[in-house]
Amino acid sequence: MNKQQLVSAVSVLLNRGQDDNTGIFINRNHDNMVRELQNYIEMNKSHLGGSVILNFTQAMNDHGVDLILEIPDRVKIGFQIKSHYDVTEDNFAANVKRQFAESFAHGLDKWILIICAPLHDGIKNREPRIAHLINEMSMFKTNMFAIYNPRHAAALFQQMNALSDTDFNAEYQKLANIEDSEAETLKLLQKLLNTDQSTARSYLSRRSLATATLPKTLSRMNEVLKWNLSEDELKITLDSCISYLKRLENLTPQSREFLTGFLERAEPSDGQKMRALSREVENHLRSSVATCKKEIEVLTLKEMAYYDNDWGQDTFVSGDGGVGWPIVFSLVEFARHEQISLDKIFSEMNFSLLD
């Protein structure tokens, strides 16, 4: 299957008809519903072909996405679930629009919003608010996103069983391959963000994920840093560099940009680690304290960086990405010696520069 066929296949899994019994979503736990969706897709992944990877991103710097479905080199789809509580918030519509824009940081081929909320909860009629959002976003002729209303969601969450090949194929044939309109997506972003075309295009450009360029020899790095490693020693070092590069590649572009910005302000410290004052990083990147905190949480999970309070000073410190030696210190030292922008290495992931 190509990208569009895979998007259509996911649509088949989600389109289970409509059910008026939206009351099943009253006070239903958001994270549990994300897990249910994840399990349902896992149950039916044979219909998608390829190596399906599902990542639960909620509460971990999600950038507008709760769950990501990825088949490497073929398709990447993000799911956002809105619960009963989400719909009751005064800024419900604004949150959805903002999260759609933020989702571009993941380089998605499709963003899918599933509204798992009761239309009537015994206190208030929520249907007008939901309908207004759907109508507003449906004005744009782009296939970058899809919205499943509460009736669709109710049908889906009551039929989370494995589909037979016969049932799946019958539904799949009904879907036509429809190409996305970049112009309409750009127009949508301008509207949602209330911004100019240039800023909207910067969000759109996040869909183009950088592709890592593997190192082959590390000969240049070996010479510049005067390691004097033997061929066998260099091979071990090369393998660990590739391992670190793979972790970089698994970060979102925004997280790589944060890591790069942090290292641009960092200086050597504590036995070949890189350290920077958190406030300097915040000012350098023009990011809020909350945004920097979220990014550090993500990098900590990947062993790429962590927060420290050294003698009462809030600082960010580099990690080794699980390779067991101060690779970041060496990469920064090499880049500064060779006058290579850190962006080339940590954001664009061009490790061929090390050869």
The pLDDT of residue 290 is above 70: yes
Q: Is the CB of residue 24 less than 8 Å from the CB of residue 37?
A: no
pLDDT (0 to 100) of residue 335: 95
pLDDT value, residue 330 = 96
Average pLDDT over residues 120-143: 87
140: confidence class by pLDDT, cuts 50, 70, 90: confident
> Which has the higher per-residue pLDDT, 182 or 66?
66
For residue 312, is pLDDT > 90? no
Contact between 178 and 200 under an 8 Å Cβ cutoff? The reply is no
Q: Is the pLDDT of residue 58 over 90?
A: no
Decide: 158 and 21 in contact? Cβ < 8 Å: yes
Residue length of the chain: 355
| Strand ranges across the sheet with 267-269 | 267-269, 273-277, 313-318, 305-310
Q: Alpha-carbon distance 151 to 121, whole Å?
A: 14
Q: What are the start-end ranges of the E strands in 6-144?
A: 53-56, 67-71, 75-82, 110-115
Q: What is the C-alpha to C-alpha distance for residues 23 and 122, in angstroms, rounded to an integer?
A: 9
Tens of pLDDT, residues 166-179? 888 877 776 644 45
Question: Cα 121 from chain centroid?
Answer: 32
pLDDT digits (tens, 9 = 90+) for 62-115: 578 999 999 877 889 999 999 999 999 999 999 998 889 888 878 888 999 999
- pLDDT band for 209, please (50, 70, 90 cuts): low
Structure tokens given for 303: 């062993």
Average pLDDT value for residue range 315-329: 94
State the number of CA atoms in the 13 A half-sphere of 83 facing the CB.
11
Which residue in this structure is represented by tokens 């993941």? 106
Q: What is the pLDDT of residue 338?
A: 95
Q: What is the pTM of this model?
A: 0.57
Domains of the chain: 3-205 (no CATH), 219-354 (1.10.10)
- For the ranges 114-128, 286-300, 310-324, 326-340, which has the lowest average pLDDT? 286-300
- Of residues 29 and 271, more confidence is placed in 29
